[in-house]
Amino acid sequence: MQQDFNNYSPSDHHVWRTLFERQMEQLPLMASKTYLEGIKRVGFVADRIPNFETETNPRLRALTGWEVEPVTGLIPKRDFFELLANQKFPASTWLRTPEQLDYLEEPDMFHDTFGHVPLLAHQPFCDFMSELSKVALRWLDVPEAIEQIGSLYWYTVEFGLIQEENRLKIYGGGILSSIGESTYCLRPDVPKIRFDVKELLAASYHIDRFQDHYFVINSFEELYRSVPDIEAVLTEMHFLV
């Protein structure tokens, strides 16, 4: 599938600009510095929707070897993990309407691209994504294990927080692309839990409202180093040898 960049309307570019500028007003104080640096490294700007073929992918390939793979929307788990294991991040090409600026039932291009792609310029995060996906592919025939990996992915890649220079910052794409959750997740009254593989694999989550709690990592290297522990805990839980 291709992005078909020329089919985006002026209204689409306006929606991108509105969402981009709205988030960038608040994220410099909230987002991980690695994410903020990534926005510049992949060349995202407010003026136009990113062109995957001519702009984003050449930059990503030069930085980490990754690229964005256009998809129609949510895809089967096997396809999803195979793409990630092969250094391809699946991203929707459709964009929300002006009436949907604050909430969508499924991820659109702004969530997939603005929320996730900047961190694909950072090698340790990329390594975590690809290695976790290889683990998922080995466990694909164990539905309970895939659900558990999904929980860990949810609370890291989608809704993760990181401790940077003694301050909590956001790196999860689901938060970074949400104006409401960007503020909510950092409130002192919202529980924060230290990154723990066993607890993450057992955690429940919400797809239709803000999370009850968030997990915090110390570094993206820590996230990458956790992959062998993830598989070891899954093996312990499901007695797979």
Per-residue pLDDT at 239: 65
CATH of the domain at 101: 1.10.800.10
Q: How much is the average pLDDT of 76-81?
A: 96
Residue appearing with tokens 């996230």: 223
Q: Give the ranges where 92-239 is alpha helix by DSSP (H).
A: 109, 123-138, 143-153, 173-176, 179-184, 197-202, 220-225, 227-238
Alpha carbons 131 and 125: distance in angstroms, whole number = 10
Of 129, 176, 157, which is closest to residue 215 (Cα–Cα)? 157
Q: Is the pLDDT assigned to residue 57 strictly greater than 80?
A: yes
Q: In the chain, what percentage of residues exceed pLDDT 90? A: 89
Q: What is the pLDDT of residues 186-231, one digit of tens each?
A: 999 999 999 999 999 999 998 888 999 999 999 999 999 999 999 9
Q: In the chain, what percentage of residues exceed pLDDT 70? A: 99
Q: How much is the average pLDDT of 143-162?
A: 97
Whole domain around residue 20: which residue ranges? 5-238
Report residue 99's pLDDT band, with 50, 70 and 90 as the boundaries. Answer: confident
Alpha carbons 110 and 141: distance in angstroms, whole number = 32
Q: Which residues pair with 2 in a beta bridge?
A: none
Q: Is the pLDDT assigned to residue 70 strictly greater than 80?
A: yes
Per-residue pLDDT at 127: 98
- Our count of domains for the chain comes to 1
Q: Are 10 and 34 in contact (CB under 8 A)?
A: no
CA atoms within 13 A on the CB side of 124: 11
Q: Is the pLDDT assigned to residue 14 strictly greater than 50?
A: yes
Q: Is the pTM of this model over 0.85?
A: yes
Three-state DSSP state, 215: strand
**Distances in Å between the alpha carbon of 200 and those of 81, 140, 217?**
19, 18, 12
Three-state DSSP state, 167: strand
Q: Is the pLDDT assigned to residue 175 strictly greater than 70?
A: yes
Q: Is the pLDDT assigned to residue 241 strictly greater than 50?
A: no
Of 17, 173, 208, which is closest to residue 95 (Cα–Cα)? 17
Mean pLDDT of the chain: 95
